[in-house]
């Protein structure tokens, strides 16, 4: 007896089953974005790339700060300084696309809060973004120290100067057993007025503090005195313990007062590169190439007690305070540790500046290293908004 041929419906179901099997297999073979480990843009190396694109801006950017404008100040080898490209170990870091970024951020605002290293950062960011809107205008509202409005996109990017993040004021002379002296009152639980009223304005915020927490800025003769709930903290806190308490309180404030929809970052420390002494002890950074990886610990490991040790010490406090929050870490420390060659040093654009202030081995030439910070920040912001 001749076997009965399978019905067309049966054949159709077999084919459909095979197609569905391959479809779902392909889905399972791709890790989902929620479970996959994201690329670590902060772990990598600097590669000299003479074909690397030139910086997106030059010395004519209207948002420059003179002492960081190393091209105008005729710092040698700026082409070479900007020929080093940061290459993450397991992925690519695309260069910021100002048009893509501002288009994505249309009708949104980006704020930076902190000390002059965040100002250094935003100057780079503003000069890069201006490429997409040459009609950008300087903007200083809502307590901002500097910023820009990009009218083609209705985007504001601004910096609020708050060097300790917490509110601080100079007290009149107080008397103690050593005699009378000036002090600075720091209210650890109250944000500085420069950024206390911005919580509803920005869609992205980037915080930092750290570079003013030293006895250079606040000598023991004019110390910081820490207050909580309007009363002095007893026993009195030293500089480092005070920093720890301020960071913890400011993180708590950010979590409570900044809307959860706001994308929040905390930029870790930007390392200094003083060699041979502090800024006021003839410390210098006249280097012509980045440090090698094996040199980094000798420069920055706190156990070596070098003049540049504070970055990693402060990072430890920050990371502890951020644990369990929705504040993302912008870890520019290691990639910046390499770049001893990229500071303004003696090319500060002002006569007698070095005699008065010493070399600048803390801030960065622009264009320069903060442009790489901008590449990373823009990538993280774009990924968040495009996938969110």
Count CA atoms closer than 13 A to 333's CA, side-chain side: 24
234 close to 294: Cβ distance less than 8 angstroms: no
DSSP 36: S
Strand bridging mode 179-191 / 224-228: parallel
Q: What is the pLDDT of residue 9?
A: 55
Q: Does the bond joining 136 to the residue before it have cis omega, within 30 degrees of 0?
A: no
169 close to 208: Cβ distance less than 8 angstroms: no
Nearest to 345 by CA among 357, 355, 359: 359
SS3 13: helix
Cβ neighbours around 317 below 10 Å, total? 19
SS3 339: coil
Which tokens in the block code for residue 258?
């900044």
* β-bridge mates for residue 231, sequence order: 228
81 close to 342: Cβ distance less than 8 angstroms: yes
Strand bridging mode 204-207 / 109-114: parallel
Rounded Cα distance between 19 and 24, Å, is 9
DSSP 101: H
* Region label for 275, one of left (φ > 0), alpha (ψ between -120 and 50) or beta (otherwise): beta
* β-bridge mates for residue 174, sequence order: 181
Rounded Cα distance between 64 and 71, Å, is 11
pLDDT in tens, the chain (388 residues): 455 555 655 555 555 555 544 443 433 333 333 333 468 999 999 999 987 678 999 999 999 999 999 999 999 999 999 999 999 998 999 999 999 999 999 999 999 999 999 999 999 999 999 999 999 999 999 999 999 999 999 999 999 999 999 999 998 655 454 554 789 999 999 999 999 999 999 999 999 999 999 988 898 889 999 999 999 999 999 999 999 999 999 999 999 999 999 999 999 999 999 999 887 778 899 999 999 999 999 999 999 988 899 999 999 999 999 999 999 999 999 999 999 999 999 999 998 889 888 999 999 999 999 999 999 999 999 999 988 6
The pTM for the full model equals: 0.88
């Amino acid at each position: 007896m001749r076997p009965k041929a399978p019905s067309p419906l049966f054949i159709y179901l077999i084919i459909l089953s095979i197609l569905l099997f391959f479809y779902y297999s392909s889905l399972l073979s791709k890790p989902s974005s929620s479970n996959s480990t994201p690329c670590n843009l902060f772990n990598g190396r600097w590669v000299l790339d003479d074909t690397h694109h030139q910086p997106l801006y030059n010395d004519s950017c209207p948002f420059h700060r003179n002492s960081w404008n190393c091209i105008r100040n005729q710092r040698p080898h700026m082409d070479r300084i900007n020929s080093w490209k940061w290459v993450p170990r397991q992925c690519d870091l695309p260069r910021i696309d100002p048009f893509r970024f501002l288009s994505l951020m249309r009708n949104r605002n980006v704020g930076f809060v902190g000390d002059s290293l965040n100002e250094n950062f935003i100057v780079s960011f503003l000069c890069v973004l201006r490429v997409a809107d040459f009609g950008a205008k300087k903007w200083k509202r809502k307590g901002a120290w500097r910023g820009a409005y990009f009218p083609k996109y209705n985007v504001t990017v601004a910096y609020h100067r708050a060097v300790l993040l917490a509110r601080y004021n100079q007290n009149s002379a107080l008397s103690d057993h050593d005699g009378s002296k000036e002090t600075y009152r720091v209210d650890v639980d109250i944000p500085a007025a420069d950024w206390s009223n911005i919580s509803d304005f920005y869609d992205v915020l980037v915080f930092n503090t750290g570079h003013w927490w030293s006895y250079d800025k606040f000598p023991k003769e004019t110390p910081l005195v820490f207050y909580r709930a309007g009363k002095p903290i007893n026993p009195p806190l030293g500089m480092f313990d005070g920093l720890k308490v301020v960071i913890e309180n400011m993180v708590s404030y950010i979590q409570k007062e900044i809307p959860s929809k706001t994308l929040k970052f905390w930029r870790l420390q930007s390392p200094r590169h003083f060699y041979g002494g502090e800024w006021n002890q003839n410390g210098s950074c006249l280097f012509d190439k980045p440090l090698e990886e094996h040199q980094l610990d000798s420069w920055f490991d706190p156990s070596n007690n070098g003049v540049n040790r504070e970055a990693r010490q402060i990072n430890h406090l920050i990371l502890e305070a951020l644990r369990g929050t929705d504040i993302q870490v912008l870890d520019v420390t290691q990639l910046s540790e390499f770049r001893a060659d990229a500071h303004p040093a003696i090319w500060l654009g002002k006569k007698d500046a070095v005699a008065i202030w010493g070399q600048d081995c803390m801030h960065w030439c622009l264009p320069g290293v903060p442009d790489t910070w901008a590449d990373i920040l823009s990538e993280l912001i774009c990924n968040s908004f495009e996938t969110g």
